[in-house]
Amino acid sequence: MCFNSPEITPSIEQVEHCFGATHPGLYDSQRHLFALNFRGLSFYFPVDSKFEPGYAHGLGSLQFPNGGSPVVSRTTIYYGSQHQVIIISKE
């Protein structure tokens, strides 16, 4: 199953559909990033600050307009089940 191609946008929903949501993602309010973590792989999505007030109980509480779901801005691959804390610059 493909989660990114010229025809498929790597949105939060697409990544969850392909990899499954085994646990809630993490939201970094300082960097406005939502992270979905899987064993050996993490996806980071920029989330506009206007959606932050709705973030209370995980990704499902973030309500994006139809077709407005964030797309992957960064992916990290690592060994094992625990990723290290990664500082993401605002480049």
> For the chain, what is the domain count?
1
The predicted structure's pLDDT at residue 34: 85
In a domain, residue 91? The reply is no
Q: What is the pLDDT of residues 37-61, one digit of tens each?
A: 888 888 998 887 666 545 555 555 5
The predicted structure's pLDDT at residue 53: 47
In a domain, residue 25? The reply is yes
Show the domain range for 36: 12-77
Q: What is the pLDDT of residues 7-30, one digit of tens each?
A: 888 888 888 888 887 677 888 878
In a domain, residue 56? The reply is yes
In a domain, residue 88? The reply is no
pTM higher than 0.85: no
In a domain, residue 2? The reply is no
Phi, psi of 54 (to 5 degrees): -85, -10
In a domain, residue 26? The reply is yes
In a domain, residue 52? The reply is yes
The predicted structure's pLDDT at residue 6: 80
β-strands 41-46, 74-77: how paired?
Answer: antiparallel
